[in-house]
Chain A
Amino acid sequence: MKTTHDAHRNGCPGCQDAAMTRREMLKTASNGFGMLALSALLADKSYAGLSGQRGPHFPPKAKNIIFCFMPGGVSHMDSFDPKPKLAELDLKPSGKGERKWLKCPWKFSNYGQSGLPVSELFPHIATCVDDLAVIRSMKSELPLHARGNIFLHTGRNFSGFPSLGSWVTYGLGSENQNLPGYLLLHNGAIPPGGLENFSNGFLPATYQAMEMRAEGTPIDNLSVSDKNQQVQKAKLDAFLQQDRQYARLLGSPDSIEAAISNYEMAYRMQSLVPDVLSLDKEPDAIKRLYGLDASDKHKREYGLQCLRARRLVEAGVRFVEITCPSLFGNNGTWDQHSELKKGHETNAMVTDQAIAALIQDLKARGLFQDTLLLWAGEFGRTPDTSNGDGRDHHPDCYTIWMAGGGIKGGMTYGATDEIGNEVAENPVTIHDLHATILHLLGLDHEKLTYCFGGRDMRLTDVHGKVLKEIIG
């Protein structure tokens, strides 16, 4: 698709040459790097007509992924990793300056057959514990939102690298030729780190997240600017005829032909995407399940995005990410340095029901085993407090969970010490998480590479190991 190709700017040996034509590319792309570059090309929608889908490296456990991103840092010892010891130590000095230990303000109960403990913050997700693999030994690096978010998404602490969703769509393409592969569902809040979190980095622009808002027009430029659709069709007919003539005049360069075919796809997207997003055919019971009848606007919007996520993966979108609304300050939803109780309760109220609904709904439709669900933030929160009212950033250990495609349910993996301060067993790095996700999707994280800046780049850089233990 690209007439000059980013990847080759710095000339990786073995990579295809920059201005190679499509025909040449197809001719030479029979092995190794050629194949990879070809896949990049084929994953591009405007070549969709030419290609089948690019295959995974081995049979996948999951086809799609929905990432419920919890920015700001959910407190692990207040959600999925109970620490009764903290109640004993409550308000005693923690030994770090003036700081004191802080007990969990919520009660934990055991749920399901597995008996996994969940705090009363998440009554709905609690009913799904037998489907969750709860990882209690996640580790990040820096206690900083922007860097943590970018690290979680790209495996790097600095900007400029492709996001997990971009890598996945680069690796697998979209199942639906008429929809983008990576969608970001949000309600207007940009988490720290900005859109860099969802950027294609050095991968072709095709792999960047397309934003879909909860309010107003979901996608930029998708609604037809002409009131009368026939007017658009008339214009389209006229200029596409003109374009074809122009292409012929210039000897049919690939770039012009590709641009023409993009118009054809764009034209189809205008009606297809609203179709996918339309809830007209969803029964009321389903809408209620997701909380679309809630009195709280944010809860309704979050529910809408979760329901959309289901519809999108159903339609073959590869990677859907949902961010949380920003209700308390702007450093990420869950960033409760103070008013922990109020903040976490509100955020849980907004997200809990819809996420549980998503699990139930995916199951009811037989999509659950094909869809990987990831619930994760950039770090956890400290077991101690500086003000008695909140917790601070804690990258040394925290909890995330996964469910669905390929995941062994009703289990915990890894553990923290008795106060939730350090990993006690089986540390899991962000790279391990990425390697595992790619593995579940049928991609070998060491083979999923892209040539940039003189080197084959990987999502996991030189790290990462697949967590076999959580795979069913």
Chain B
Amino acid sequence: MTQCCRIIHSFLTLLLLLCHAISAGGAAQGPAPKDMEFFERRIRPLLAQNCYSCHGGDKQFGSLRLDSHARVLKGGKSGPGVVPGKPEESLLIKAVRHETLQMPLGRNKLKGEQIADLEEWVRAGAPWPQEAPAKLSTGHPDFYKKLTQEHWAFQPVRKPELPNVSRVSWARTPIDRFILASLEKAGLAPARPADKQTLIRRLSFVLTGLPPTVKDIESFVQDRSADAYERLVDRLMASPHFGEQWARHWLDLMRFGETHGYEWNYEIIGPWRYRDYLIRAFNSDVPYDQLVREHIAGDLLEKPRINLQERINESVIGTTSFRLGEAGHDDCIEFRSIGLDVVDSQIDTVTKAFQGLTVTCARCHDHKLDPIPTEDYYALSGVVTSARQLTHTIDTADVNAEYEKQLRQLKAEIRSQLAMHWIKETEDIGRYLLAAGTVTTENKVLDGQKLKHWRALLKKEKFEFEDPFTPWLTLAREENQKSGGWAAAWRELADLYRTESQARVAFNRYHFESFGDFRTGGVGGWYADGLGLRDGTTPSGEFAVAAEGDKAVSGIFPAGIYTHVLSEKLNGALRSPFLPQNKKFISLQVMGGKLSARRMIIDNCYLGENFKVLDQDSLSWQRLQRAPTQELVSSLSASQKRLPAYVELVTKFDNPRIPDRPKALKDVTPEQLESQRSYFGVTRAVLHNADEIPKDELTHMTRLFQQSELASMAVLAEHYMAACRQAIRAWSEGRSTDDDVRWLDWLIRNNLITNHRDLSPQLRELIEAYRKIEERISPPRIIDGMADLGEGFDVSVLPYGDWKTPGKPAPRGYLQLLTPAQKRLRLEGSGRRELAEIIASADNPLTARVMVNRLWHHVFGRGLVSTVDNFGSLAERPSHPELLDYLAGQFVENRWSIKKMIRLLVVSQTFRQSNQVTPKAGEVDPRNRLLHHYPVRRLEAESIRDAILATSGVLNRTLYGPSIHPYREEAKDYRKLLKGPLDGNGRRSIYLKVTRMEGPKFLELFDFPNTMVTLGSRDVTNVPSQALAMLNDPFVVDQARVWAERMVSRGGDSVERQIDAMFWTALGRPPQTEERERFRGLVIQLTNLHGISPSDALRSAVVWKDVAHALFNLKEFIYFH
């Protein structure tokens, strides 16, 4: 939101200046107060409004600045601006009179009296107050130093004494002492305590967001014990709904949305898992400092929080918070500002949510009001930019471990079964080869089908040099052409292969630089994530058992990394280090299918268009260009060319572009899209500038050419047989080479050996067993998060926020204001880990204050500092500064326990006050800043909907899980706005899907946040569309029907009792006589209007539906006090 703070509006500046001017009024050498007042009232505003857009802090046309005395006197290119005392000689005056220049340029000429004011001012000697205020806009070190030393929020949290009060007995808790002291000072008294029915309703909504049940109310009202209230508090805080309510507050701060919005509204991966993480965290009271660490660097914690029940790494989910904002799919390299906007939103969220600072003002210029120089913004930007935005698999190592062990054992048995049969099959290879060549002779001993396969091979038109069969085909032709040329042809061929092989090796060595070799050892500097990549490199000969169909195996692979050697349900993501600048291409030897993809990610633009779905079940080289198009490369600026880029290979659900927009998916069926299966494999990555890709080095052919002479085709047939048997034998013994795999693969692909699960009953049994276990494998749990991969890097300061003119690099770091000297970031990795510690520190003057103030805001409807997201110099001063510090101190002392803090607030006598305002209090403190009563508050959007569901009896109290699409009559699939059930399956509103393009409409009517910016304090608007919704929205009307039908089916014994019961359910209290009468009157009226006989009134769902509807529409239903 604050990206745009290019200048502070002149009026705002003026006001501040006035304050400064007035406070500095007595300065000895300054102009006379009268002159100063004239200047501040008439001249400075005039200059600010008419001149500063071109001659101020941001722009200086003609090198002229008019915002300080010295600069006005000095002037610009055309000479001094003002000659004190001499208006006729002053350029400024001439310009505004349109004598020399015509100023202000492109605007109306100043009014006569404005020109006269200026003349008078110059005539008086152009008096100007002392310069200090002008430094406001310069980020001057002294100004910053002064602010740092003086602004209350930047000072260490103090431990205040409890104030003395006269009505000691009223104060139950230390909080009450502070509140009472202020009230007494103002000559006010607190309100009397609220009654129990009011209290339980208030407490239920505040703590859980839900209305209390009738049973709960009754038992609380009847409980006469001294600690009845405290026990109620404990009960509500132990409810799982507590976590839902407080997670929802937190989601506002994290600008929570579940899609990326913008043009195609791509899905964010697993945002609901982050929502569930928060609910669990608030319910189990994870200390706040831990939450801070997890949000900023949960992926880097030495000891992540492991959820043993769910078998997930909780800590890493915190980093999803960075990823919840808007993001476009366009390429950052061309549209650089897109990536910068994403980073800006991340910085804005972190600094406002945790620190209550408007840091993003410093994106374009030094912060004008808080000590935050632009360098700080870019120091922080370097931290965020160095981290990569990618998916994490959050399953712990033991997930599927038992199944995987069983699968591995079965694979060993499957391998020996297959090898046994295949060895047998290859005994006949020579005979098939010879027989296949002689078309006329049918050999009855050989299998006809297999012979056909061999013949098909012989008919192949395309001769690829690296195909194992090429020598045979070549010689077979030679033989046809000139009989007897055997020996020569063979020698020639052997030579050809040898020299070609050498040439290719040399070519590869010359052009390609290895950037990753996954055939031996680990991933070599690359980063592997996912259940399918937990074992890293697999040796040559590893294979995948076919998960369905008649085949036994779906592939046998050379050494490398493969996600599917156990199951295609296991996911994987393999990411490269940042690519060096000096190479144009990276090529990968890959295979993959079922919507796995290879992607180039530039400047963290993770939704970029430059990705390609992999659709090949054998390895081949694929070339990726560093920049998307050649045309673009030539037009890129130096800074664009330097943008960090990396490649990744991902299985389907690790790809943020899946599901892609409909046009891109037109060849994909819904079944393919939803299928759990996907895979890829890769052996090597190389960098190069040449256009070509690496060549096959032909090493697998060596085994054919071991003898220099060849006697006959029959001998060659023997060679082929030997080559194949060597391959199978090596494979069966688990010592195969990539060359062996090449031969095996050739045999299988050409159906020269039988790849069928029915090869033997034993094999069939093994494969069936394998498939059964594979079915039980649980799919990976994936989230969008942040990761530090490799070294971090600094980014350049962008003066005026303009990426086209980068300035000096800013060393990574945090705000100088909040970084103790000994805690400068180490420049390893992005620096997020250290950043997290600085923010989560008890010594940070803002972290605890900001958070306890947020909790106070939610409990009392307004913070002690009402500007909950801004604790900078524009913040409203705390109404009770000592109380704020007391709470911040307690918070840290109680090990950052959020639950303990909330409990402290709600058990106070202050919280238990009624809403009654005495006339005096209304007079003295109409805004209730001193808290002389508990305010009337409207329910938040979610609570309105939840209360309707709770009242109608439909509320489904299930926790957690994927979100439910909000009610939508018409789907807009192309924007991923899908249909949802009218009542959201009765689930609480926090489980409704927040699509960024169009949020849940019913909630949006009641100020559900717009998800674009972090938001600590929601609006409470009051507009007619809210009334229209309560009157006519199908959800409300339908819930009235459901409630009525429930009531009628219970068969009440009188209209009055029915009314009583419904009052209890909706409002938590019985009707007074007058109210009962009013609603009885309504029932009679409705009975008439619906043409129902009065005797049937009690059993008429139609009538009671209207009564229910009227109750939903009561203000008392959507307000509490």
Contact = CB atoms under 8 A, between A and B. Distances in A.
Contact of A194 (B6, B19, B975): B975
A292 to B, nearest CB: 23
Interface in B1018-1059: 1018-1029, 1031-1034, 1037
Interface residues of B, number: 108
Contact of B12 (A14, A247, A267, A269): A14
A253 interface: yes
A266 interface: yes
Interface in B150-180: none
Interface stretch (B385-393, B901-909, B1109-1117): B1109-1117
B231 interface: no
Contacts of B922: 251
Contacts of A246: 1114-1116, 1119
Contacts of A223: 1032
B1028 A9 contact: no
B1082 A238 contact: yes
B213 interface: no
Contacts of B106: 465
B361 interface: yes
Given A10-B870, A220-B1001, 9 more contacts: A9-B867, A10-B867, A11-B875, A13-B15, A17-B866, A194-B262, A251-B922, A253-B936, A265-B1024
B1025 A210 contact: yes
13 contacts: A4-B1020, A13-B15, A96-B631, A193-B262, A220-B1033, A221-B1033, A228-B1089, A236-B1113, A238-B1078, A238-B1082, A262-B1022, A267-B1031, A454-B361
Contacts of A23: 926
Contact of B1 (A14, A17, A160, A220): A160
| Max count, chain A CB within 10 A of own CB: residue among B358, B1110, B1114 | B1110
Interface residues of A, number: 102
A45 B936 CA distance: 22
Contacts of B5: 453-455
B927 interface: yes
Contacts of B629: 97
A146 interface: yes
Interface in A451-471: 452-458, 461-462, 465
B1021 A1 contact: yes
Interface string B183-209: 000000000000000000000000000
Interface stretch (B219-227, B682-690, B1009-1017): B1009-1017
Interface in B1-55: 1-9, 11-12, 15-16, 19, 49, 53
Contacts of A453: 1-2, 5, 358
B326 interface: yes
Nearest to B917: A251
Contacts of A242: 1075, 1078, 1114, 1116
A45 B1023 contact: yes
A256 B870 contact: no
Contacts of A6: 1019
Interface in B262-280: 262-263, 265
B776 interface: no
Interface of B is mostly: loop
A194 B997 contact: yes
Given A220-B1025, A246-B1114, A205 B1007 contact: yes
A244 B2 CA distance: 42
B252 to A, nearest CB: 12
Nearest to A23: B926
A462 B6 contact: yes
B1081 interface: yes
B1121 interface: yes
A249 B630 CA distance: 74
Interface stretch (A59-67, A122-130, A151-159, A358-366): A151-159
Given A242-B1116, A270-B1028, A250 B263 contact: no
B341 interface: yes
A242 B1059 CA distance: 14
Given A1-B1021, A11-B867, A222 B2 contact: no
B926 A21 contact: yes
Given A250-B1121, A455-B8, A462-B7, A158 B915 contact: no
A12 B261 contact: no
Contacts of B19: 13
B833 to A, nearest CB: 30
Contact of B927 (A21, A222, A461): A21
Interface string B870-903: 1010111000000000000000000000000000
Interface stretch (A103-111, A195-203, A277-285): A195-203
A330 B974 contact: yes
B369 interface: yes
A311 interface: no
Contact of A4 (B330, B1017, B1115): B1017
B587 to A, nearest CB: 23
B1023 A231 contact: no
B867 A461 contact: no
A151 B970 CA distance: 28
A146 B328 contact: yes
Contacts of A97: 629-631
Contacts of B1085: 234
A13 B936 contact: no
A38 B178 CA distance: 34
Contact of B1082 (A228, A234, A458): A234
Contact of B3 (A13, A158, A262): A158
A195 B261 CA distance: 10
A421 interface: no
A161 B16 CA distance: 25
Interface string B59-102: 00000000000000000000000000000000000000000000
B9 A449 contact: yes
B1090 interface: yes
Contacts of A210: 1025
A145 interface: yes
Given A12-B874, A195-B997, A255-B1119, A232 B1114 contact: no
B849 interface: no
B936 A235 contact: no
Interface string A2-20: 1111101111111001111
B1 A146 contact: no
Nearest to B360: A453
A220 B58 CA distance: 46
Contacts of A449: 9, 11
Interface string B756-775: 00000000000000000000
Contacts of A230: 1089
A31 interface: no
Given A46-B1022, A220-B1025, A452-B1, A144 B12 contact: no
Given A199-B1010, A246-B1114, A446-B49, A258 B335 contact: no
Nearest to B356: A10
A471 B580 CA distance: 56
Contacts of B554: none
B1106 A235 contact: yes
B1024 A46 contact: yes
Contacts of B832: none
Contact of B1023 (A18, A147, A224, A262): A262
Nearest to B914: A250
Residue from B7, B872, B1086 with most neighbouring chain A CB atoms (10 Å): B1086
Nearest to A21: B926
Residue in A3, A44, A452 with the greatest tally of chain B CB atoms within 10 Å: A3
* List of 7 A-B pairs having minimum Cβ-Cβ separation, nearest first: A266-B1027, A194-B997, A456-B9, A160-B1012, A11-B867, A221-B1032, A221-B1028
B1 A145 contact: no
A265 B1115 CA distance: 16
A204 B1109 contact: no
A456 B12 contact: yes
A236 B1085 CA distance: 12
Interface string B1079-1109: 1011001100110000000000000001001
